[in-house]
Amino acid sequence: MSDVAARASELLRLHHTGSTLVLPTVWDAWSARTVVEAGFPALSVGSHPLADSRGQQDNEGMTLDDALDGIARITAAVDVPVTADVESGYDTPAAELVERVLAAGVAGINVEDTVHSQGRLREVAEHADYIGALRAAADEAGVELVVNARTDAFLGSTVTFEDPLAEALRRLQACEAAGARSVYPVKVPDAATLRTLLAELSGPVNVTAHPVDGAPSGSFAELRAAGVQRITFGPLLMKALTPSLTDLVTPWR
């Protein structure tokens, strides 16, 4: 547990250096080692690419056991902090989830407000309460687990809001108050929306970007200039590699 605690503290520190923290999103030991060898001080595990690598579905098509099996293989393969996407928590009580992710060696977790098993979005207070319970359980364990609270308010897959920006802010501000170390508004539509989020939220904001094309809210240089503290790739790094793999093997048909 001392190693996990040290890695969690280091991951938290990396969020507050004044520079944008890029956490390339990996899915297995090979991709994790490759990212570390490229010089990144920490990395993220995405549920979507992890599920794809296992032949399973995202949106909790994996069980928590499945996800933690893959995550633990990654944390054992590298000596840098790893933050992992645990979707909405797989219907697991907060204290149990924290115990199990720490046992898997993670320094941080993404937790979203879409409850896939029920096809619904958590209410604002409900999600904040879950984030707060995760924070409390991590504190009880003596680990500065970086809880990255995600909202799908912009996504519109379960609920479509009249004012998605206002709803995202309401949800993320509640999560910050509950103890989230960073927040994650998925699918920020443009740079103006991102500027508002950065101005109205008090802690680090996670933006999803494509490793080649950047994000709808800006290129890498623009995201850094705007003050984005954290960037991950979601499933987009794995998807970006597909054409290269196809090009490599096609001549051998």
CATH of the domain at 98: 3.20.20.60
The whole-angstrom separation of Cα 146 and Cα 129 is 16
Q: Is the pTM of this model over 0.85?
A: yes
- At 101, give phi and psi (nearest 5°): -70, -35
Determine the 3-state secondary structure of 132 from DSSP.
helix
What is the model's pLDDT at position 1? 60
Per-residue pLDDT tens, the chain, 253 aa: give them: 679 999 999 999 999 999 999 999 999 999 999 999 999 999 999 999 999 999 999 999 999 999 999 999 999 999 999 999 999 999 999 999 999 999 999 999 999 999 999 999 999 999 999 999 999 999 999 999 999 999 999 998 888 999 999 999 999 999 999 999 999 999 999 999 999 999 999 999 999 999 999 999 999 999 999 999 999 999 999 999 999 999 999 999 9
Question: Buried (b) or exposed (e) across 139-166, using 16+ Cβ within 10 A?
Answer: eebebbbbbbbbbbbbbeebeeeeebbe
Query: What domain range includes position 235?
Result: 2-252
Residue among 100, 83, 84, 102 nearest 92 (CA)? 100
What is the model's pLDDT at position 76? 98
The whole-angstrom separation of Cα 219 and Cα 32 is 24
Residue type, 112: E
What is the model's pLDDT at position 239? 96
Residues 6+ positions from 162 with CB-CB distance below 8 Å: none
Residues 6+ positions from 176 with CB-CB distance below 8 Å: 149, 183, 201, 202, 203
How many domains is the chain partitioned into structurally? 1
